[in-house]
């Protein structure tokens, strides 16, 4: 059984509350540095994008792997031509979370960090530049990369963000870059926008009732978001605030404790396949079996950090998430979690644990 271990900034090791207070102090200095109305960062959060000026939802499309689905009308390269009536019908189904069921494709998200707020005082991995790591992971097939920019908690730096964006853009037109930080001030959205990222991570446990304001600002400036939640109440608050991309973490940042089955238990809170909410899961994922389990219960993607950072197993993790199709989320409670399907939707056989063979007549009995 996991034990609860609390860390306090008073003991020289920073906990969440200490990190928030430190970040608020840092942001006062950042605001002072970008006080001019003509400052690029200040302008980034003051320029409202509307209509055709709004950028495409690159992050959402990467999380749903729209670019890999030739039959998805949202894919710019889709050859499927649908009538106006069919398009209207699909929009209505999507609006009400009733999109037609179909096989899903899981996305793989890499959390690039040297340290972790969940493992205070430890160095998880060493690298010179986050841009080089981001490029390597995307080249292997990662759909999205989180670039951590808080030095004290994650060992990152805001200067690495631009490097990561350039590196990813050089090797992929579809992969998305997300700025991960302990966001406490609106100026951080400006920093993310100015750096050219596709999205920013917002922690529900940090922002609390201010979450909706941050979501509204991000939307107005054309910056996509992922809201990190741990509890049922946090997920509900994110849904009520109209968050479109939600990450359920197994890690409780307030108690500083892992609950390995938390994301699995909360999977049922989201609409079915093709619905308006994109859900991903992460936090302490150490092997591919954990990934398969989370994808099979309806999550659109998985976030993996330490297990692939500086590890020769990175290709294995990415291949596991991407080289298969998933049953519609509506089937998540049918006891088919151990069944695996190839990219054509055929049941995969082979030396896999508890996976029925395609010739087994009792496979789905």
E-strand stretches of the chain: 107-112, 144-148, 176-180, 199-203, 224-229, 245-249, 251-252, 257-258, 278-282, 301-304
Q: Is the model's pLDDT at 45 over the cut of 80?
A: yes
Q: Which DSSP symbol is given to 104? A: B
What is the mean predicted confidence (pLDDT) over 123-149? 91
Q: Which DSSP symbol is given to 218? A: H
Highest mean pLDDT range out of 54-63, 134-143, 309-318? 134-143
Using CA atoms of 127, 223, 193, 304 in order, give the dihedral in degrees to the nearest 10. 0
Distance from C-alpha of 21 to C-alpha of 257, rounded to nearest angstrom = 20
Mean pLDDT of the chain: 83
pLDDT tens for 173-214 read: 999 999 999 999 999 999 999 999 999 999 999 999 999 999
Q: Which of 91-100, 165-174, 189-198, 266-275 has the lowest mean pLDDT?
A: 91-100
Angle at 175 between CA 342 and CA 135, to 5 degrees: 105
Are the CB atoms for 99 and 272 separated by under 8 Å? yes
What φ, ψ does residue 356 adopt, rounded to 5°? -65, 150
What φ, ψ does residue 127 adopt, rounded to 5°? -155, 155
What is the mean predicted confidence (pLDDT) over 303-320? 88
Query: How much is the pLDDT for 54?
Result: 64
Closest CA to 53 of 249, 275, 220, 227: 220
Distance from C-alpha of 125 to C-alpha of 268, rounded to nearest angstrom = 34
Tokens 């899961």: give the residue: 281
Query: How much is the pLDDT for 352?
Result: 46
Q: Which of 143-157, 314-328, 344-358 has the lowest mean pLDDT?
A: 344-358
pLDDT tens for 52-83 read: 566 678 999 999 988 877 666 666 666 666 67
What is the mean predicted confidence (pLDDT) over 145-173? 92
pLDDT tens for 204-242 read: 999 999 999 999 999 999 999 999 999 999 999 999 999
What is the mean predicted confidence (pLDDT) over 124-131? 85
Residue 28: other Cβ atoms inside 10 A: 12
Q: Which residues pair with 257 in a beta bridge?
A: 252
Residues 6+ apart with CB under 8 A from 198: 58, 59, 62, 176, 177, 178, 224
**Per-residue confidence at 48, pLDDT binned at 50, 70, 90?**
confident
Tokens 């793989």: give the residue: 108
């Amino acid at each position: 059984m996991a034990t609860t271990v609390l860390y306090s900034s008073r003991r020289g090791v920073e906990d969440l509350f200490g990190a928030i207070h430190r970040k608020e102090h840092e942001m006062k200095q950042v605001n002072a540095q970008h006080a001019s109305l003509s400052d690029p960062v200040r302008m980034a959060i003051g320029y409202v994008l509307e209509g055709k000026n709004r950028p495409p939802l690159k992050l959402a499309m990467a999380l749903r792997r729209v670019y890999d689905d030739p039959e998805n009308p949202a894919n710019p390269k889709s050859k499927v031509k649908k009538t106006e009536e069919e398009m209207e019908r699909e929009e209505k189904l999507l609006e009400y979370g009733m999109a037609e069921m179909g096989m899903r494709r899981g996305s793989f998200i890499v959390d690039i960090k040297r340290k972790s707020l969940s493992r205070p005082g430890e160095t998880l991995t060493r690298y010179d530049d986050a841009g080089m790591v981001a490029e390597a992971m995307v080249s292997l097939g990662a759909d999205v990369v989180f670039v951590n920019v808080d030095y004290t908690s994650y060992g990152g730096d805001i200067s690495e963000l631009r490097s990561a964006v350039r590196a990813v853009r050089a090797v992929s037109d579809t992969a998305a870059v997300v700025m991960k930080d302990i966001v406490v001030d609106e100026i951080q959205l400006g920093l993310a926008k100015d750096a050219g990222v596709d999205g920013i991570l917002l922690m529900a446990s940090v922002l609390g009732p201010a979450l909706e304001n941050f979501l509204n600002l991000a939307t107005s400036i054309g910056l996509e978001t992922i809201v990190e939640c741990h509890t049922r109440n946090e997920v509900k608050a994110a849904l009520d605030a109209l968050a479109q991309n939600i990450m359920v973490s197994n890690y409780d940042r307030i108690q500083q404790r892992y609950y390995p089955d938390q994301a699995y238990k909360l999977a049922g809170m989201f609409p079915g396949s093709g619905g308006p909410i994109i859900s991903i899961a992460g936090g302490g994922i150490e092997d591919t079996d954990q990934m398969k389990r989370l994808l099979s219960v309806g999550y659109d993607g998985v976030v993996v950090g330490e297990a692939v950072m500086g590890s020769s197993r990175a290709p294995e993790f990415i291949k596991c998430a991407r080289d298969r199709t998933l049953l519609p989320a509506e089937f998540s409670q049918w006891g088919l979690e151990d069944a695996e399907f190839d990219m054509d939707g055929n049941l995969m056989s082979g030396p896999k644990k508890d996976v029925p063979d395609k010739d087994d007549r009792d496979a789905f009995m």
